[in-house]
A and B are shown apart, each in its own frame.
Chain A
Amino acid sequence: MSWAWLDSLRETIGQPQFTLLFAPAAKFLVAIVVILLIIAYLVFVERRLLGFLQVRLGPNRVGPWGLLQPIADILKLLIKEDTIPNRAVRWAYLLAPCLVVAPAFVIFSVVPFGPSPNAPGAPRWYVTDLDAAIIFVVALASLGIYGIILGGWSSNNKFSLLGGLRSAAQMVSYEVPQGLALVGPLMLAGSMSLVGIVESQAQRGLWFAVPQIVAFFIYFVAGVAETNRNPFDLPEAESELVAGFHTEYSGVRFALFFLGEYANMIVISAIAVTVFLGGWLRPFPSIEALAFLDLIPGAVWFFLKVFAFLFLFIWFRGTFPRFRFDQLMALGWKWLIPLALANLMVTGLLVVLLNGRT
């Protein structure tokens, strides 16, 4: 009857090396599991919500109110045959889905889910607080494109190829306005760390969506395009390209693409919430009369806002037709990028003029 192992564990946890190495890994794991769960139920919620929008029921057979549907879906996808076309470029074909999923998940390591008081030993609601978090996010987000291009090209299917090409063009051109839109809040905050940006919003008592409404709008539109969601779902446009880049994929690998898309939706929402909507802050953080809202923990606020965004994604899908390829490019290059640049200039000018206060 020895509890020594518990003591030694306690001791190990106390070690600085542990905090440095294992705590982030553990946190990351928890984050991934939570995100995976959210994704599974996001798909379910999407189907039910679309059902609601489209005067039908949606899945309601598996478990109470269909709540076990995601599990059934995952099981189905796991046990399905993983087909590989004979003339596919094997290594690229196998690699592509992983390339889509991995970056999307890694981004969660820099997202602060809640407030992290400076007191030593207090729980921190992020895996790591990177100094250059925004650059990290943008860089990883663009890595996901390779997965889609590779998947489309290596399937050796013309529809997949067209889908891959479409997504290459689309994601490359929408990354520019997306990145530019992020620079505005960055200039206001004077920090590239996501935690820093939220803290700066807390100091100011103002969500950056207010002064940076244009950037916010651009970021969200570009984000919808980045995630290949309706009305920008051209790469997988079902009625045009069968299923676009993932036409040939089945089973687990298809599930990975699926996972990647939904993880990206959450990433875009999380970054938008962090940068523009004050992350874990309550609405109107400067108004004292609303202080009772602080009773709700920051993480809850954060996820509430993320879910509001996810709802928007689903709502779009139920409402809009699809853009055409050239119209999409025109929208990106002729509207969003000039608008983002103009916004940047105005922001820069204001920052310089009001230098003392910013």
Chain B
Amino acid sequence: MNGNAPTGEPLFGLREMELNFGPQHPATHGVMRLKLKVDGERIVDCYPIIGYLHRGTEKLFELHPFFQNVPHTDRLDYVAAATNNLAYVGAVEKLVGLVVPPRARYIRVILAELQRISSHLVWLATHAIDIGAMTPFFYCFRERELILDLFEQYCGARLTLNSMRPGGQPYDLPQGWVERCGEFIAEFPAKVDEYEDLLTENRIWKRRTVGIGVLPPETAIAYGVTGPMLRGSGVDWDLRKALPYEAYGEVEFDVPVFHNCDTYDRYLVRIEEMRQSARIIRQCLDRLPDGPIMAKRPRVLKAAAATEAYHAVEGPKGELGFYIVGDGSTNPYRCHVRPTSFMNLQALPEMSRGALISDLVALIGTVDIVLGEIDR
């Protein structure tokens, strides 16, 4: 019954406190641990510790034939399965020289862009709730639900889609899907305005995000940061424009770029990307060509010996790539994932130095991590 700190250490004599932020913490979006050194609430040092969700996916890839690996990719970035599928099948196609028919390319773009919207919606929802705004969470999930319904109607799954195959698409679009998707896309931009009403000009929101986590373009590039984070840092670079794949070369869209390099600008980039995605989907639905959805391909895909290919797509979080080495067998000899969030998370210690604990929460949100992809 004395007044000393229970651990017996002098509590108020310490200058810095070590704080384990996670692995079980509401704001780490999964199981990530940040070893923080804090001086009061100011962060002196931040050391991310990851791997709590490691499942050895890359080893699993080596055990299964090319076709059977698609479901594994669903589980990487589990809020953006279609994009993972797209990157993987793209890499396999590049490795074995498959050419995808145009209709399948368009379907892929539609799915990937729907997935981008849904991933950004999850991001916005969690980012806002991390900063304390509760309501956008429910608004975002309302629209995401509609997207998941569309996925369900296409491939039967809502989250782990398994929606693409090397060489094309497993299924054609079901009857009426194009109209339903068109309806959703017609309504969606108004919903984005709704989210913006709640946040964009909100003074508290701006105070929590403007000037927080400034990441100059040079630093961003040095840390391998890609995607909306890089565009929020003023680098006009989008793989869909830079190295177009699938049908992206045939559609019109703008790449939003903002130059203040802070959390607010990254927020604006992602909000605008949702609108642009809707625009892309609209064009794809209008121009959807007829024809086959699957290329002529052998029943069992074999890569030639000593071949290797790297293919990357612009995922919702940034460059998502697959590096596949073939050895003449039916399985990939080595399949490495270029994990977007893993690379982006590297910039977190840099961004969080000198920030407050409250900022750290905003920063974890703005990096938009998915631990399934980081830990693989």
Contact = CB atoms under 8 A, between A and B. Distances in A.
Interface string A39-56: 000000000001001111
B207 A319 contact: no
A239 B132 contact: yes
Interface stretch (A203-211, A294-302, A320-328): A320-328
B228 to A, nearest CB: 20
Nearest to B355: A324
Contacts of B137: 54
A322 B131 contact: yes
A319 B139 CA distance: 12
Interface string A313-351: 000011111111111000000000000000000000000
A3 interface: no
Contacts of A159: 19
A300 to B, nearest CB: 31
B26 A55 contact: no
B361 interface: yes
Nearest to B365: A239
A176 interface: no
B25 A242 contact: yes
B357 A162 contact: yes
A198 interface: no
Contacts of B17: 158
Size range of the interface on B? 35 or more
B205 A324 contact: no
Nearest to A243: B26
A322 B6 contact: no
Contact of A231 (B26, B132, B139, B356): B132
A156 B138 contact: no
Nearest to B17: A158
Given A231-B204, A320-B202, A56 B361 contact: no
Interface in A107-163: 154, 156, 158-159, 162
Of the listed residues A53, A239, A241, A321, the one surrounded by the most CB atoms of chain B closer than 10 A to its CB is A321
Nearest to A331: B207
15 contacts: A55-B142, A87-B6, A158-B19, A231-B204, A234-B358, A237-B132, A237-B358, A239-B130, A239-B131, A240-B361, A318-B135, A320-B133, A321-B131, A324-B358, A325-B358
Given A53-B135, A55-B142, 15 more contacts: A159-B19, A165-B40, A237-B132, A237-B358, A238-B26, A239-B129, A239-B130, A241-B357, A317-B134, A318-B134, A321-B208, A322-B208, A323-B132, A324-B356, A327-B208
Interface of B: 1, 5-7, 17, 19-20, 25-27, 40-41, 128-135, 137-139, 142, 198-199, 202, 204-205, 207-208, 356-361
Interface of A: 50, 53-56, 87-91, 154, 156, 158-159, 162, 165-166, 230-231, 233-234, 237-242, 317-327
